[in-house]
Copies of this chain bind each other. A is one copy, B any other.
Amino acid sequence: MIKYIEYPDAEMLKLLLQRPVNNNSADESVVASILEDVRANGDAAVRQYTEKFDHCTIGEMLVSEQEIFNAYQAVSIELKEAIETAKANIERFHRTQHVGSAPIETMPGVRCWRKSVPIETVGLYIPGGSAPLFSTVLMLAVPAVIAGCGRIVLCTPPDKNGNINPAILYAASTCGVSEIYKVGGVQAIAAMYFGTESVPQVSKICGPGNSWVTMAKQLIAKNGFPIDIPAGPSELAVYCDNTVPAEFVAADLLSQAEHGADSQVLVLSEDKGILQEIIEAIKVQVDVLPRKEIAMKALANSAAVLVKNQNDAMEIFNKYAPEHLILACDSAEILAQQVVNAGSVFIGAWSPESAGDYASGTNHTLPTNGNARGWSGVSVDTFVRKITFQHLSKEGLQRIGKTVEVMAEAEGLQAHRNAVTIRLGK
């Protein structure tokens, strides 16, 4: 069960803010050998690993139009409506992220600008496993489509019968992504990285995965290949006061705890009473959860912490850099302005984290494991490059020329200098 801690000192805090040891069971050399095999043998290797790991003999890797059509029939009207509502909100929010930058003259005759240009071919990975993560399809496909990526490739593992969950096919297709391959695991990352006969080579790979997929993404990141963000176990930190019903907070904590045994949740308050109520409410709520066992393991990594005041709480949060941060208190709007390190922030009693996971419009692909100190979550930015442009007139070059010549000379780069001198001598 979740630990209760009062006024932790610096040492205790350090212990508290440690992430559960990331039990990355993936063997780097095995992952590297799968990557190499797919590079050398393409589809044949992909098929072989699909047989080995997914216990499926795939025929055509590309999902057919008929399969997508069937998925439209298979998904309930209720779920379709929910997906469409979520998609519309995600679109509305992500559309605000598309920025251009008008040209400016840094000096008379020296005009510079940036242009957002979509990545031409992008790869999205959607894990299989116990639950079909169609919400992640929305979170990756919507910004990729808004960015204007020309080709969006989605890989997801087939079940034993070679099928993909209809909700995943529906979500992808309704976003405009119809190039879906029945390939999962390390072999999917390898196929998109190198390209095979069936799967196109992409220029960036996004999406979550198990420890093997994560290792594959980290290995290609080492080669300089762009990925969305490093993946890790999910986290939630909450600050609350006694204006918020304890069962709201308990439910939020459990919604993260059910993600995985290595998830972690923290709740901080300056009110001892509410913390005790929350712990009691967790005990009641967890008992009836289908994923109780997982949640209980995550709660063992978790803590309810009594703090002196809100400033202490914010300092702890900014050190911890949580993926999700809920501020459920009277002064939540003010506290939100003090957030420095977090993935996504939920303000007030009526903003459960699960609203952002699915449908409020913000992205749920967020930095975990303290990575919020240096990384942002997925957004339209993830799917564009900002290319810079400059146009100098002859007068512009005359004005700036001396500066370039002096600096190039001082850096010992004579040819850099010449490119200006020759022009100005003309």
- Could you tell me if B224 and A408 are in contact, using CB atoms closer than 8 angstroms? no
Tell me the residues in window 349-390 of chain A with beta carbons closer than 8 Å to chain B beta carbons.
Answer: 349-363, 369, 371-377, 379, 381, 384-390
Q: Are B85 and A93 in contact (CB under 8 A)?
A: no
Evaluate contact between A374 and B225: CB separation under 8 angstroms.
yes
Interface band, chain A: 35 or more
Is A257 touching B415 in the complex (CB atoms < 8 A)? yes
The answer for the CA separation of A89 and B225 in the assembled complex, in Å, is 31
Say yes or no: is A83 at the interface (Cβ < 8 Å to chain B): yes
A403 touches B85 (CB 8 A): yes
Q: Is the CB of B341 within 8 A of A394?
A: no
Q: Are B392 and A348 in contact (CB under 8 A)?
A: yes
A404 near B374: Cβ-Cβ < 8 Å: no
Chain B hits for A356, CB < 8 A: 388, 390
Contact of A135 among B254, B345, B407 (CB under 8 A): B407
The answer to whether A10 has its CB under 8 Å from any CB of chain B is no
A258 touches B392 (CB 8 A): no
Contact A385/B372 with A255-B419, A412-B130 known, Cβ cut-off 8 Å? yes
Interface residues of A in 238-261 (CB under 8 A from B): 245, 247-248, 251-252, 254-255, 257-259
A357 CB contacts on chain B under 8 angstroms: 404, 408, 416
Chain B binder among A104-112, A154-162, A270-278: A104-112
- Whether a CB of chain B sits under 8 angstroms from the CB of A151 is no
A340 touches B117 (CB 8 A): yes
Smallest beta-carbon distance A328→chain B, Å? 11
Which residues on the B side are within 8 Å of A251 (C-beta)?
A: 415, 418-419, 422-423
Distance (whole angstroms) from the CB of A354 to the closest CB of chain B: 4
B344, A404: Cβ atoms closer than 8 Å:
no
Please measure, in the bound complex, the distance between the C-alpha atom of A117 and the C-alpha atom of B295, giving whole angstroms: 32
B358 adjacent to A407 (CB under 8 Å): yes
Q: In A98-128, which residues have CB < 8 Å from any B CB?
A: 99, 101-102, 104, 106-107, 110, 112, 114, 117, 119-120
How far does the alpha carbon of A290 sit from the alpha carbon of B408 in the complex, in Å?
13
The answer to whether residues A402 and B82 also contact, given A203-B373, A388-B345, A390-B345 and a CB cut-off of 8 A, is: yes
A408 to B412, CA, bound (A): 62
**Is A167's beta carbon under 8 Å from chain B?**
yes
Contacts of A404 in B (CB 8 A): 82, 352, 354-355, 357-359
Q: How far is the CB of A339 from chain B (nearest CB, A)?
A: 6
The yes or no answer to A391 lying at the interface (CB within 8 A) is: yes
Give Cα A340–Cα B116 distance, bound, in whole angstroms: 10
Contacts of A135 in B (CB 8 A): 407, 411
Question: A291-B414, A403-B85 are known contacts. Are A92 and B106 too (CB-CB below 8 A)?
Answer: yes
Given A230-B224, A422-B251, residue A362 in contact with residue B112 (CB < 8 A): yes
CB distance from A327 to the nearest CB of B (A): 10
Leading 5 A-B pairs by shortest Cβ distance: A224-B230, A106-B361, A222-B222, A352-B419, A82-B406
Q: What are 14 contact pairs spanning A and B, CB under 8 A?
A: A79-B406, A79-B410, A82-B403, A106-B361, A110-B360, A133-B411, A134-B411, A218-B224, A224-B232, A333-B391, A343-B387, A352-B420, A354-B408, A379-B386
